Amino acid sequence: MKLAIVGNGKIVNECLFALQDIPEIEVVSIWGRPTSLNKTKMLADDYGIMEVYTDYEKMLMETNADTVYIGIINSMHYDYAKLALIAGKNVIVEKPFTATASQAKDLASIALDHHLFIFEAMTVFHNETFEKVKETVPWLGRIRMVQCNFSQYSSRYQKYKDGFPAPAFQLESYGGALMDINVYNINFVVGLFGQPEDVLYVANKGYNGIDVSGTLILVYKDFVAELVACKDSDSESFIMVQGEEGYFKVPDSANSLRGLDIYIGHGDNIAKEEFRPKEVHHRMVQEFRDFVKAIETDDYDKVNQSLAHSISVCDILERAAESAGLRYGE
């Protein structure tokens, strides 16, 4: 894979660090805004990237990259992914895939019409722990309750409180707790149980209307899933899935999934199993290896599965935002 990188923020730094462990990927180009050219050049120097651009469409025309990785603010995902697809490039988009289900469907249509690969970069589905979780769910019997908590005091929260909101705390940039971190919880739950029957989001809003924290309720036939995300406070992050025959706990956030504790039975007759995945260089390594494999083997079923899932998640995000009165883009 020859890769062009779009962006120069925190997630791009993580991506470039992870890619050092994947020799089958060559990063040939990087794009950043003209106002952050020095930052982009520094990344290019650090990681040996030969081509630096501030004009996105020019990069798409000139680069020999076959795939574009988009790691910029949420509100720009759709436009930049669409331009890359139109230019004939495969695309990897950071979460959230798009802001709305209609945008996701549009990208899917373009990709499918031109047999291009497009994936949402969601580490949840490229993790040994998630595979173990899928094996474990049937052991629990009828599912009765799901709880997810991803709480992480944002490094940008103090500046937000001081009146200088970064894009992660702006409605016009599609930031906030729902889009930035609860999206991991949503992906985990939808990946296991599919689309819910109903969606309700109750948000703690800041002075500019952004959700600094909140609780999302997903209603399924037999159970309710409670998904908490906080950018304004810290706590233990975890996932708990309870069934009539047992339960499991992931003592970690949904974007890392560094282990699984399984409890089957009741009272004094509980059997416990602990699962810990192999240590990896970085949580993003396996997903990029999986993307390379899918493209090399022309595994288009992976594209269809990924797109169907991303569209479902975008639909939930859209319904959740509407229920909480979040007016993105304003």
CATH number at residue 108: 3.40.50.720
Three-class SS of residue 148? strand
Residue 308 lies in a domain: no
Q: Which of 279, 298, 314 corresponds to the end of one domain? A: 279
Residue 71: which of 22, 116, 11 has the closest Cα?
11
Residue 312 lies in a domain: no
Condensed to tens digits (0 to 9), the pLDDT of residues 8-43 reads 999 999 999 999 989 999 999 999 999 999 999 999
Instruction: Concatenate the DSSP letters of all residues of 242-280 into one string.
Output: EETTEEEEE-S-TTT---EEEEESSTT--EEEEE-PPP-
Residue 5 has pLDDT above 80, yes or no: yes
Condensed to tens digits (0 to 9), the pLDDT of residues 145-199 reads 999 999 999 999 999 999 999 999 999 999 999 999 999 999 999 999 999 999 9
Residue 301 lies in a domain: no
Structure tokens at 320: 């959740």
Structure tokens at 231: 């950018």
Residue 142 lies in a domain: yes
84 is in which domain, residue-wise? Answer: 2-121
Residue with token string 């992906």: 187
Condensed to tens digits (0 to 9), the pLDDT of residues 88-99 reads 999 999 999 998
Residue 313: which of 219, 196, 213, 170 has the closest Cα?
196
Residue 303 lies in a domain: no
Q: Which of 98, 121, 144 corresponds to the end of one domain? A: 121
Q: What pLDDT was estimated at residue 120? A: 97
Residue 321 lies in a domain: no
Q: Are residues 177 and 37 in the same domain?
A: no
Q: How many domains is the chain partitioned into structurally?
A: 2
Euclidean distance between CA atoms 35 and 133, whole angstroms: 44
Q: Across the chain, what does the average pLDDT equal?
A: 96
Contact 34, 54 (CB under 8 A): yes
Euclidean distance between CA atoms 167 and 136, whole angstroms: 38
What CATH number corresponds to the domain at position 187? 3.30.360.10
What pTM, to 2 d.p., does this model score?
A: 0.95
Q: Is 266 exposed, middle or buried (0-12, 13-18, 19+ CB in 10 A)?
A: exposed
Residue 285 has pLDDT above 80, yes or no: yes
A 10 A CB-CB count for 23 gives 7
